[in-house]
Amino acid sequence: MRFSQVAGHAPLKAKLIMNLREGRVPHAQFFLGPRGSGNLPLAIAYARYLLCADPGPADPCGACASCGQMEKLAHPDMHFAFPLFLNEKSRTCAPLLPAWRDLVLKEPYLDAALWRDHLEGENKQLRMGVDVAAEITRQLSLKAYAGGWRVMLVWLPELMDAAAANKLLKVLEEPEPRTVFLLVGHEADRILPTILSRTQLVKVPALAEDDIVRALRGKFEDLAEADAHAAAVRSAGDLLEATQSVEKGEEELFVLFRDWLRACYALKVQDTVEFAEHFAKMGRERQKGLMRYGLYLVRLSMLMSQRAFQLVRTTGEELKFVTDISRLLGADNVSGMREELEMAHVHLERNANAKVLFMDLSYRLHGLLKQR
């Protein structure tokens, strides 16, 4: 993973590279970013640049021994710690390292759920216990293999047990020379404040829509620009979400939203109940994605009714549907539609009862759509 292979974040990459080139290498950094932001590939690219024998102005050389090893995430001075299912047999990362490497190489934007699936442990809890902390200490007690920098990357430090976190804190308090800690996680408020105070924060923001579109079109050759754009908008800056929605087949959310809105419009009560029940089973992220997608369609419809056709970047069935709703929306009801969908998104974030919320929303949307 090189900087050029990580989507977006141009200013942040430039800053990280400048620091490295000027010899400013913090002892510990925390790459904090939301799911799908790319904080993990960014941290790996950073490590690869640091370990490279002859880095260029924007990327590692790609030709030295270190680059070859980092290409497979198998550099002897690059260590990884990550959460696992703690039990009698499994307490440390080493036995799971090949599986972790495989997954990261396949999907560098992975989240805990993907890792859990990869380990085939549906309802088990991922954690890092004291044995992982001891493993970190042990690895760092060895001399650097190549005689240069050593990197310890801790993925999802928020899943460390208290005892493990305290052990890690000790290591951070007494930094070894030429050793770099890279913590990579999503939730700073679940990490010991004493650990945070010893790390330099690298804030990785959610990706911009255009960066997601570019990344998707790089991954999926046949993906049309309009579809990439729709997936990017729905994902709210989360490249993993966008990738998974393309893999699952874009249409699913579209068909759900379209058919639900039609049922709302016609006030088919039994259908709206069934939709609400179906949505309630979908999981929070997908429910929120559905609301964001609805907002995106409303926005396109508005552009359509204002005759700003060049801005309506969509095709096929989606375009047809957008055209249909643009006839039902106007100055009097469009802001109401937007507010309803935005509020639903907020309530879903706060764990509202999904079935009740969607039933209620169906009636309100019916009222709004019939307003004209």
Residues that bind Zn ion in the complex, under the rule CB under 5 A: 52, 60-61, 64, 67
Q: 4, 75, 8, 68: which is closest to 242 by C-alpha? A: 8
Question: Among residues 67 and 119, whose Cβ is nearest to Zn ion?
Answer: 67
Question: Among residues 48 and 258, whose Cβ is nearest to Zn ion?
Answer: 48
Alpha-carbon span 42 to 4, nearest angstrom: 10
In whole angstroms, how close is the CB of 333 to Zn ion at the nearest point?
59
Q: 220, 247, 224, 243: which is closest to 313 by C-alpha? A: 224
Helical axes 239-247 vs 225-235, angle rounded to 10°: 130
In whole angstroms, how close is the CB of 356 to Zn ion at the nearest point?
57
In whole angstroms, how close is the CB of 20 to Zn ion at the nearest point?
13
Question: Among residues 64 and 226, whose Cβ is nearest to Zn ion?
Answer: 64
CA-CA distances (angstroms) from residue 240 to 27, 93, 107, 145, 339? 29, 24, 8, 34, 27
Alpha-carbon span 93 to 289, nearest angstrom: 34
Q: Are 277 and 355 in contact (CB under 8 A)?
A: yes
Q: Give the distance from CA 276 to its chain's centroid.
A: 27
Question: Among residues 42 and 263, whose Cβ is nearest to Zn ion?
Answer: 42
In whole angstroms, how close is the CB of 231 to Zn ion at the nearest point?
34
Angle at 287 between CA 284 and CA 292, to 5 degrees: 125
38: alpha, beta or left? (left if phi > 0; alpha if psi -120 to 50): left
Q: What is the largest CA-CA distance in the chain?
A: 74
Question: Among residues 63 and 356, whose Cβ is nearest to Zn ion?
Answer: 63
Question: Among residues 60 and 185, whose Cβ is nearest to Zn ion?
Answer: 60
DSSP state of 368: H
In whole angstroms, how close is the CB of 180 to Zn ion at the nearest point?
17
Q: Are 372 and 333 in contact (CB under 8 A)?
A: yes
In whole angstroms, how close is the CB of 55 to Zn ion at the nearest point?
6
Question: Among residues 71 and 271, whose Cβ is nearest to Zn ion?
Answer: 71
In whole angstroms, how close is the CB of 52 to Zn ion at the nearest point?
3
Alpha-carbon span 158 to 169, nearest angstrom: 13
Q: Are 234 and 318 in contact (CB under 8 A)?
A: no
In whole angstroms, how close is the CB of 40 to Zn ion at the nearest point?
20
Question: Among residues 78 and 231, whose Cβ is nearest to Zn ion?
Answer: 78
